[in-house]
Amino acid sequence: MRFLAPLAAAAAIAAAPVLAAAPRDASTCLALYGRYDNAAWLYPNNKWSNEGSRVMQPSELNRPMQLLRTNGCLTTSGDIDGMPALFARLAPHSIRDSGAAIPATALHVGIVTGFYDEGRVTQFFRGLGYRSRGVGAIGLGRRIYLGPFTSQGALDEAIGIAREAGFISPYPAQHTKF
């Protein structure tokens, strides 16, 4: 009899309708990235474990990280599979300064979930003439930044290209300079 309860539970789960993933919403992700950035800025990863060798993630980042994950704000390999075709359409590309002058601003493109995708994204953007760098985001993957940009037109163009490449909500970084 004890064995029937787990089997019944497994059968009920298997028979339940599969729920479709909620559609990703750019404005929700933008707000969640803002919360994550503020928490990361206020509580930097400068704590060490007892062994003195591992960086420990501040607990204040847990909730913003969970929300980024559950709302589909991270960029998966499938999201950026269209980059080669986009590159073929855009190349050769030159960055054009236009519009109002702005202080040197980095663009946070998004967070990819691994080093392989960081390499793909880096190759794509550098091939279009952008400076790019990846920074580790403990528990999430690799944050991708472009820039710096000194004109609003160049920044807006990079945001548009990043969206076309598969990133849900690229935005000007408030706390990152390079």
In the chain, where the domains are located: 78-172
Q: From the DSSP assignment, how many helices (H) and strands (E) are in the chain?
A: 6, 6
pLDDT at 176: 76
Q: What are the angstrom distances between the C-alpha of 91 and each of 84, 97, 139, 149, 176?
A: 10, 18, 34, 20, 28
pTM over 0.75, yes/no: yes
In terms of pLDDT, which residue wins out, 7 or 26? 26
**Is residue 106 within 8 Å of residue 146, measured between CB atoms?**
yes
Fold topology of 78-172:
Alpha-Beta Plaits (3.30.70)
Per-residue exposure over 80-91, b if at least 16 CB sit within 10 Å of its own CB, e if not: beebeebbeeee
Report the range of poorest mean pLDDT among 38-42, 53-57, 58-62, 78-82. Answer: 53-57
Taking 90 as the threshold, does the pLDDT of residue 60 lie above it?
Answer: no
Q: How far apart are CA 1 and CA 44, in angstroms?
A: 53
- pLDDT (tens digit per residue) in 82-95: 999 999 999 999 99
